[in-house]
Structure 1
């Protein structure tokens, strides 16, 4: 297969942990050709197809100069056997526009994973609303009074912006309510922006678990991202320590409930965030943790992913 990865600049990859890199490596190992471009390279002209300046690359096995470029050319995206949208968040206006260009690639006959419409339809924090039976008490609002009432009821809460990533903008407010007003004003921009508020789940001390679901089926291990020191966030980007573990019965219950729902919508790869027994996020843009789980457990997550991709494409 010819596989195109729409991603961040290749030169920015941290290959020792990058999930997109691990996908590329496994695809090349199987004899597939690997291509890459950035969302900024996508373009459409009336009367023509969606095209992009793409780079064909060969992975070298080195850490520094990890790829060599065989050449580059402007190509129609529909001509690739699979197009993988792997651009990291934030899901801003440019990401949104890219999904529309990629959706047109589908109309032209191309195959895009994850499906562009599904990326738009499943905002990573709000997607949990569909699966409320697995969620801790949660409030989505821009109303400061409603947030104060939620805190009065639950006493220990987490507040976070809907467009945050890597733990950015997450605040904990304990029973004393210290700085609740200031934090609310900061996050909701005095009522102009919607905020998510959740009851604090104390099992965060045991890790914010990333449960991967590939082709509707759970990877048998998760990566527990454990907060360090006085930090409340387990995100690796916020200094959390990643420890691979077998799925608990509850982890598997959640994954097996969501997988058969999300996969038919075109979500080939999903990353569920679970704290304790509670689902906190449904990540669909560029879920990570392939390499950490594979290195610590020996379970080949990239192989499972490329198996699912080949099956989806029919190769």
Structure 2
């Protein structure tokens, strides 16, 4: 099998924890050919979606971990699978990339996750489709609505709809200190829509990442526990990851969403759960493969590659909301 990874520059990978690297390593172990390119390498030329793509060889060295051949212009349809593993920000360039990938699909490429499904599932807003699992939530740019939400719930979280890694997340407590400033900053003076949620105190026990692969649930979560007074558990914000068994509520949430999201064309999804509440549905480039494998001995990359092997030989799943 030939697999092309659409990803961030390989030179930036932290191989001891990178989930895309774990995917590559497992593909290499199975004898598959590995290729890599970035969104800047794609083009629509002569009616065909092509990219300047480099064949990658893994060296087994933890530092100097790959060799890349000279990039060659190739149609994306020439691969058995194209894996979209580019991190956010989910800006217009990201959206343009999904359009090109969708055109490539029409020319025979198999892209995972499906680009239309990525566009249709904003990682913050998608939780509204599963409101039975969420904390009280408001999505608006209106300052008065946000202030009323704060009066009702007293302790709230405000965050942008397009952030990642915990960037731009604020907690406002009962006294409302700096609420006006935070609203102005996040909404850009009421020109940008944001999400506001009732604070979930169980965050002190971790923001749990639960992985869904091929419509099935990985049996362990990675609880990302805030440190040093932080409200954010994200690893990128200094949280410590602790792998743990899924609770009954975790399983209820995951088993409800897994088949639905797979049916929509999402091979890999990362749910974020705090306490008993679903807080995000991550579809762009979910992580935490290696932390779960290292701490629990469960080979997440192998489960993913098994699911990919099934997916490339199966009819495409429909994409809907």
Which interval holds the TM-score relative to the shorter structure? over 0.9
| Cα deviation, residue 294, structure 1 | 0.2
Show CA shifts across 1:107-142 (max 9, x none). Answer: 001100000000000010001110011000000000
Instruction: Single out whichever of 186-195 and 297-306 deviates more from structure 2.
Output: 186-195
1:23 matched to which residue of 2?
23
| Cα deviation, residue 70, structure 1 | 3.8
Check whether the contact 1:57–1:71 (CA below 8 A) recurs between aligned residues: no
Q: SS at 1:225's partner residue?
A: strand
Q: Residues 289-300 of structure 1: matches in 2 within 5 Å?
A: 289-300=288-299
Cα distance in 1 for partners of 2:58, 2:264 equals 32
Check whether the contact 1:84–1:114 (CA below 8 A) recurs between aligned residues: yes
1:310 matched to which residue of 2?
309
Q: SS at 1:132's partner residue?
A: helix
Check whether the contact 1:144–1:191 (CA below 8 A) recurs between aligned residues: yes
Q: SS at 1:218's partner residue?
A: strand
Aligned residues: 314
Q: SS at 1:175's partner residue?
A: coil
| Cα deviation, residue 72, structure 1 | 2.8
1:192 has 2:191 as partner: yes
1:260 matched to which residue of 2?
259
Cα distance in 2 for partners of 1:49, 1:161 equals 35
Length-normalised TM-score, structure 2: 0.97
Length-normalised TM-score, structure 1: 0.98
Q: SS at 2:298's partner residue?
A: coil
1:160 has 2:197 as partner: no
Cα distance in 1 for partners of 2:68, 2:180 equals 53
Q: SS at 2:260's partner residue?
A: helix
Cα distance in 2 for partners of 1:67, 1:250 equals 41
1:3 has 2:10 as partner: no
Q: SS at 1:219's partner residue?
A: strand
Moved runs in structure 1, 4+ residues, more than 6 A?
A: none
User: Which structure 2 residue ranges, 5 or more long, are not aligned?
Assistant: 315-321
1:44 matched to which residue of 2?
44
Show CA shifts across 1:223-279 (max 9, x none). Answer: 000000111100000000000001111111101000111001110000000000000
Q: Residues 1-315 of structure 1: matches in 2 within 5 Å?
A: 1-46=1-46, 48-314=47-313
| Cα deviation, residue 65, structure 1 | 0.8
Cα distance in 1 for partners of 2:261, 2:230 equals 32
Q: SS at 1:98's partner residue?
A: helix
Cα distance in 2 for partners of 1:60, 1:230 equals 41
Cα distance in 1 for partners of 2:168, 2:239 equals 16
Show CA shifts across 1:38-84 (max 9, x none). Answer: 010000123x4111110101111111110012443111100100000
Check whether the contact 1:128–1:282 (CA below 8 A) recurs between aligned residues: yes
